[in-house]
Structure 1
């Protein structure tokens, strides 16, 4: 879902640093317009602000700077803004340390990212056993202090033998990660950082002496952004050698006989003790791609005898190896997923055996391999359960933590060496934990996540309902609010949707959201079509030419919330992020009368021009291409920018973006803001909230995330009449 890529030219950070304030202006600064008209399949498409795509232009930079100051001036006048910022930050701190991405390796070695309460950024820590002392391996805050720019850990992978760590770090929210190796015992770096290793596709050879990683090319000056993710190469580096001696192992430029496409981004999978390696390709957006296999022993030769065993048509979405057996999740003939396996010695999909059938209910979302069992994550509505599959268990498996409410998720075991699994927990009303599952089915808290419920947190009520959409199809909607809320239509309400890539909202407890809920706010999550709520068919029902279902489902959910008296059009807001920009933008442009305010958060807002950007070209597989007549028509229909109509009373809109966004170029927000500011007849504000040291939200510091959340809450409450403006 909009994977990491290189950012377009970065504007001067100081120009957009938090705190830039100008006098509140009655009107936003007008956008320079250099209109262009394109013709696609006989259809003329006007683009009045094409020039804003040139973010490096001094004229465009000046306009973005003026827009940033205009937005900050508006936000600074909301009378609850400072109070809300303090409350959101306080809730984040008071809930304790945050821990994520726990990885278990043999020898009781534990690695995870941890952000202590009050800290700015996640650190990478390790310990040996739950009773072992924590040791910080990588601290991005030290890099931030040295450079003045926020840094973040993008990925990490320790070697099987525990001697070496591979990790990626990027700056300013750019996700433009450099790969670094570390000697774990001494904590000292091994060699120089390797640039342009943006994806987490790093894997250790079975002997832990070599690392495979995918590196994008260094593009020449003037190369179009669309070249960024083309012709990438997987290299194999021997630990201790400089990157200049890394061996090209796989990629479109490495072996032309494989007939790889330029957009085939490769990764290599190894398994401890395994005699084979698997190469996998994706376009970085959808998981389906090609699979190849070769013996590990062939690394000693001059040429790798890769043999293709599948293509994208085989609908394989997950790959894992144990020994010399390859396990695959596929939705071929099983829209809700199944798992198959085959020996790599003579790998052929035609001879693969089914090891987990398509579930009778729910969606087989993920799977994992333990030491002597296979586990799946079975998604049921807004919750997920970890199921164990062994002889004698039901078709859908056996719930390994049946007494645990809400969701359970597998904790990482990449070596497949653990006899007893660990699970993470999540629910709408309880803080997450990491539980060890004992042989008898009982669980114990590992203590890795020690989050606490904030003092004074309100008791919450949750309803999960099915809302009929425009065509009668029923859409899952979760509604959260404090207990005892009176449904009189006056409650500030946020409808949140996404609807792309098969991504599904799942129950989770967010302490920061209490700042909204304790003021009588309502939060509603809609798993509209385009999500994976009911498997691949639900995803495809909000995909390319069926994309209108995504925002029409959202409109139906908004109407239901109003009909049920949670809100009224005067207190109804809508929020969409990234690909959810299509959800929010088209809901607002199709039914502006339903909403008082909207938040377009790093949104895809110009779908027609998207494929001309670095990351947009990788998303053709999800949204379509203008080169195809039917897909062009769909792109034009889903493009908020092109659906804005002059003289329409649009709701208030805040467009949130980081200037270093590598996934959705900031010009999406710029062009939509310019068009809305000119077209709207409601007199309600349309402005941008810009951050010069942020990107798509990945890698943002705790302070950046809290500030953004507080501004969104303050803006919405102001527009709902629950807050005012300072003189």
Structure 2
């Protein structure tokens, strides 16, 4: 083993607070300050990155992984097309472009024309195009500009025919849809009040409001459409129905799928809001409408989901079941050309079923294999829809689906330097601490017969399902003889509401128990050993990795917590953190505090125990999970007596929580992570011919 690293000296302040009789120390609170405005924090970041970069430069696999990732990610790939005004709009990356480019075709298989190339927006490639929506006639594109990975967006508008960017500029947009009115005169969007100059990346997001922007006018003239100043925590998301008649506003307070639905009749000049669904109690996802009849996916009386129709013209709000709850979990529903398309998860694999609008079964959509299907958007008169399909051994392929004939044909298939026949994908169920049966996917090259270096990945929260999907970055690990495992922990949405509820709030420990049980099962089955096992997770998954490392430091060789929520006592004080109380609870409530404090990664590092090698990752522009979480956690690790293995932090510049990250930064990041994990799991990294 190499000599222990020499870490920067980090100032410790004497901050101790009383929480319900428990004295909680927070010596590194100063590291919560914004790295852009606080010189001491900036100096600390520079010193930590110097240690990390010096250490990573000694790892022999780093350059090999980087070179191979450049090859594996160098393939042309397209996103799903959107059809408007007879035109097809889609994103396309030629290979190693830092940002995908927006193209337009005049016909389904015509020649593509570049409309917007974000790669020209900044020298470092870190300014991305986020949301983009064509107007109904296809003559305009409204799109969000995302700089340096922030969640903030600035909306601009492009004239499709001329390629000119119009003078319109809409700022301080976040967590928003862009919803054009059908005549193309403007669009609805959601924004927050402009924050103070020194709080742009840290202030809590409150009082989101829906506005209408009329093309050719300044933002100061935008019309306030819907706001709830008496309920400042509510967020609002607007959709215009396919017939152009209604604005449907979905309101929520946190991350739970518990919504209120408000309708605005767009034929009424006063645009008076009318409540359709009151109370934040159930999931309501709009599938579409036929006149005043609205179709929703809901978990009302159906924890695994069903489709209902609500007549908005009736004051009684009559509700009729269209598709009843099934054994599988309903993930999405949409109406295309009079057909209701429903997307289910069956043991974490997609199954798509067709129904008439009165609920008559019309058969299944035949998918290319076992994997994940997404998409199926469109409008009542569209003869077609598109969907993406992927699996661990299938790069994402785009299909055109003929709604009337039920036939699917390939619209875009990537040519990847990869032979799926050389890889094994299997699903295994293991038993958690309390006897719950939990699934995981195990993926690796054929011919591995002995325990191998393994990455175990998890998330376990916020009703998010981890479904099969191709990844060039993961392929780089598996090419070297490594195993990649995805565990479908409780807290996710794989098996509906009950699965989510079993892994949140006071049940959060179940998620950690599931992850630990997955690791123990892999070891017991001979897939790997303690000395060959690394764990990885991002955001809520970073919390997972941090908590599990504290609870079972003996079980892993390496840990990679990315952009993690590490201080469970103060998470709700920054940006979007207040939303997360749905999954975590309220730190100011005694019962919740005791649970949060019991697993908070920052507060539960155990001096005197030997920890695995840890490389935490964050970014300076992460305004979703502010980097102070990882800064404080890293400082606490480096202060504690937890052994001589490295406990370092990788802090990316001009990047955020993940979205919009340029390709070159992704390659550098994964080369570093895989080299770190390979070194500590005993993987012998060799050049790939």
- Provide the TM-score with structure 1 as the length reference: 0.89
Q: 2:130 aligns with which of 154, 163, 173?
A: 154
Report the Cα distance in structure 2 between the residues aligned to 1:140 and 1:223, rounded to whole angstroms. Answer: 27
The 1:357/1:455 distance shift into structure 2, 3 A limit, reads closer
Map of 1:84-483 to 2, 5 A cutoff? 84-93=65-74, 96-105=75-84, 107=86, 109-145=87-123, 148=124, 150-221=126-197, 227-253=203-229, 259=230, 261-283=231-253, 285-298=255-268, 300-301=269-270, 304-318=272-286, 320-346=288-314, 349=317, 351-359=318-326, 361-390=327-356, 398-401=363-366, 404-407=368-371, 409-438=373-402, 439-446=404-411, 448=412, 450-454=413-417, 459-483=422-446
Give the conservation status (yes or no) of the 8 Å contact 2:431–2:437: yes
- For the aligned residue pairs, the C-alpha RMSD in angstroms reads 2.3
Map of 1:563-642 to 2, 5 A cutoff? 563-642=524-603
Give the conservation status (yes or no) of the 8 Å contact 1:386–1:410: no
Aligned-residue offset at 1:81: 0.7
Report the Cα distance in structure 2 between the residues aligned to 1:290 and 1:410, rounded to whole angstroms. Answer: 25
The 1:272/1:508 distance shift into structure 2, 3 A limit, reads closer
Give the conservation status (yes or no) of the 8 Å contact 2:322–2:358: no
Report the Cα distance in structure 2 between the residues aligned to 1:172 and 1:546, rounded to whole angstroms. Answer: 36
Q: Secondary structure at the match of 1:431?
A: strand
**Superposed CA offset, 1:368-413 (max 9, x none):** 1111100010111231122111389876x622115x2123534353
**Superposed CA offset, 1:290-330 (max 9, x none):** 211232122x23x6243353221133245544443322111
The 1:455/1:54 distance shift into structure 2, 3 A limit, reads closer
Aligned equivalent of 1:20: none
Aligned equivalent of 2:464: 503
Q: Name whichever of 667-676 and 46-55 sits farther off.
A: 46-55
Aligned equivalent of 2:13: 34
Give the conservation status (yes or no) of the 8 Å contact 2:176–2:237: no
Aligned equivalent of 2:655: 694
Q: Secondary structure at the match of 1:421?
A: strand
Give the conservation status (yes or no) of the 8 Å contact 1:85–1:707: yes
The 1:223/1:600 distance shift into structure 2, 3 A limit, reads closer
**Superposed CA offset, 1:656-697 (max 9, x none):** 111100111111111111111122432100101111111111
The 1:125/1:680 distance shift into structure 2, 3 A limit, reads farther
> What runs of 5+ residues in structure 1 fail to find an aligned partner?
1-23, 254-258
Report the Cα distance in structure 1 between the residues aligned to 2:278 and 2:228, rounded to whole angstroms. Answer: 17
Aligned equivalent of 1:53: 32
> What runs of 5+ residues in structure 2 fail to find an aligned partner?
none
Report the Cα distance in structure 2 between the residues aligned to 1:104 and 1:399, rounded to whole angstroms. Answer: 24
Give the 4+ runs in structure 1 shifted more than 4 A: 221-227, 391-395, 455-458
Report the Cα distance in structure 2 between the residues aligned to 1:412 and 1:158, rounded to whole angstroms. Answer: 17
The count of aligned residue pairs is 681
